[in-house]
């Protein structure tokens, strides 16, 4: 705990510096002047004359407020948490490596960088994050780095892709790949398609006459043998609760006062501190948007 309690580099240095109104910062990497205003809720409003500087500044500001969250989540996605907290996270890391999170992120990044505009956005976002990281001295590291006694790494475009894949994994709470693979090996594809169709051919069962059930029962000759869990070599980490999930709903324009339809999206995400979202306003030559961002990924969701 010596480093953490050090009055010159420890947690004492993380105290708020006070009023920072009208502060001018020279940031290497910016091509022009960018204005950032924080409102009464500390939501940043970024105004830039170029798109490149806009996303550079988004990366810089986001890292300033959420650097540890960004890095810890990407370490989790890459199966690297045990590098920070030790053997307690080995099973978690093995699982994330075995399901191919890094491989999937690399493939996604190739697609992202094939688009010139998307590559410009993510490149400048990464450069902005790194400009902030390079400006830090050990005494400036966020509190979590001091508690866990490690240093922040430079950001890469792959880390942003990893974060998006980790978000996809979080939202994929109904995933049953292992169960479905086992069912496929037992029943075969034809029977699996009958038991678990991609979509139902009819919405409701159709019965010609009420109470008319003149059909031969299906004979089941045997019950497939099920391996006990302790004989399965790979044990999965605990799965999310099957009772949670997101929802969407729409209201027809015929039922609204404006005559326009309304769409609501209600994602059910795990509670976290800090929040999974970071609110920001971006204003540039081709952009004027305000809303939730995912710390570690550019643009507004």
**Which residue did the predictor score with more confidence, 109 or 216?**
109
Question: Does pLDDT of 206 surpass 90?
Answer: no
Please provide the distance, in angstroms rounded to a whole number, between the alpha carbons at the two ends of the chain: 40
Query: Residues 178-190: what's their mean pLDDT?
Result: 86
Q: What digits encode the pLDDT tens for the residues 29-70?
A: 899 999 999 999 999 999 999 999 999 999 999 999 999 999
Q: What is the pLDDT of residues 246-266, one digit of tens each?
A: 778 889 999 999 999 998 877
Asked if residues 96 and 172 have their Cβ atoms less than 8 Å apart, the reply is no
Separation CA 31–CA 48 (nearest Å): 10
Question: If DSSP codes are grouped into helix, strand and coil, which group holds residue 262?
Answer: strand
Q: How far apart are CA 171 and CA 240, in angstroms?
A: 10
Helices vs. strands in the chain: H and E counts, helices first: 10, 6
pLDDT band at 240, cuts 50/70/90?
low
pTM of the complete model: 0.76
pLDDT of residue 55: 97
Mean pLDDT of the chain: 84
Q: Output the pLDDT for position 272.
A: 81
Q: What class has domain 56-174?
A: mainly alpha
Give the lowest-confidence range in 55-59, 201-205, 294-298: 201-205
For residue 192, pLDDT beyond 70: yes
Q: What is the mean pLDDT of residues 94-112?
A: 93
Per DSSP, what are the bridge partners of residue 37?
A: 45
Residue from 12, 272, 11, 275 nearest 143 by CA: 11
pLDDT at 113 over 80: yes
Q: Please state whether beta strands 44-48 and 278-284 pair in parallel, antiparallel, or not at all (unpaired).
A: parallel
For residue 8, report the phi and psi dihedrals to the nearest 5 degrees: -95, -25
Nearest-Å Rg of the Cα atoms of the chain is 25
DSSP character at residue 242: T
**What per-residue confidence (pLDDT) applies to 97?**
92
């Amino acid at each position: 705990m010596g480093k953490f309690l050090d009055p010159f580099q420890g947690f004492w240095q993380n105290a708020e510096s006070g009023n920072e109104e009208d502060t001018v910062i020279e940031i290497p990497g910016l091509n022009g002047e960018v204005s950032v205003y924080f409102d009464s809720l500390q939501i940043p409003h970024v105004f830039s004359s170029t798109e490149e500087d806009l996303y550079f500044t988004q990366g810089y500001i986001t890292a300033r407020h959420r650097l540890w969250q960004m890095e810890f989540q990407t370490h989790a996605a890459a199966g690297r948490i045990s590098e920070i907290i030790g053997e307690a996270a080995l099973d978690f890391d093995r699982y994330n490596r075995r399901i191919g999170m890094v491989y999937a992120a690399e493939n996604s990044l190739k697609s992202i960088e094939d688009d010139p505009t998307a590559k410009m956005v993510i490149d400048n976002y990464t450069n902005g994050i790194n400009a902030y990281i390079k400006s830090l001295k050990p005494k400036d590291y966020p509190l979590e780095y001091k508690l866990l006694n490690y240093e922040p790494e430079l950001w890469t475009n792959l880390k942003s892709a990893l974060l998006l894949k980790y978000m996809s994994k979080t939202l994929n709470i109904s995933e049953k790949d292992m169960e479905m693979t086992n069912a496929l090996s037992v029943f075969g594809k034809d029977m699996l398609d009958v038991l678990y169709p991609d979509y139902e051919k009819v919405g409701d069962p159709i019965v010609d006459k009420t109470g008319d059930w003149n059909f031969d029962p299906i004979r089941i000759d045997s019950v497939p043998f099920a391996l006990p869990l302790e004989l399965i070599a790979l044990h999965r980490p605990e799965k999310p609760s099957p009772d949670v999930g997101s929802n969407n709903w729409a209201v027809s324009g015929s039922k609204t006062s404006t005559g326009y339809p309304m769409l609501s999206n209600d994602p059910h995400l795990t509670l976290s501190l800090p929040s999974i979202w970071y609110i920001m306003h971006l204003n540039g030559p081709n952009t004027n948007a305000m809303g939730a961002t995912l710390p570690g990924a550019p643009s507004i969701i």
